[in-house]
Structure 1
């Protein structure tokens, strides 16, 4: 049976803070039917939903999670404009734009320290 990614889950320390970040920086839309103090479901165009789950909300027995232990890769059409926009929005940028193996990219972080790789693939 074929499988596909249905939702990307990020474990965060503060759902409200992360929700504000992703709606402000990525223009994600909150799906209000799936929102609570400890959980938010966000939607980006043409992407699986991004779920924010409070680490303090309780994980299954024997499971642990640390905020910031995840990388989210975001493909954009205009890398320079996105970099400038993120600078203006005071996103923590940890690199300048650089080239690597057919892509140009930069790295930033969300409020919990999740790594955000923003890239544009050079298509010949």
Structure 2
């Protein structure tokens, strides 16, 4: 039986630069063993899937201030779904800090302001 992905968390931030500059930096995900990365530059999206339960989908959207980066984290477990709340606690707790670091890195590389958006 196939289970649909279950949304767990959304994070958002603004980088004050055009999507044409921001997108390549968001889609540049370093390779990690056991992790699948599927980048679509035309759609300005990247999906990262690893382990048996984790999937992250990140998009870059133009906004008046520059680029809105939205990261959604999902449970995609096909087995042992009952265990996801236990193993996901730490990654979900740490996700906002990791996302903020990613925004800061992009902002620094482009020399522009960036900030997280609260309660997307």
State the TM-score bracket (shorter-chain normalisation): 0.3 to 0.5
Q: Which has the higher strand share?
A: 2
Q: State TM-score, norm by structure 2.
A: 0.35
Q: Which has the higher helix share?
A: 2
Q: Which has the higher contact order (CA 8 A, sep 6+)?
A: 2
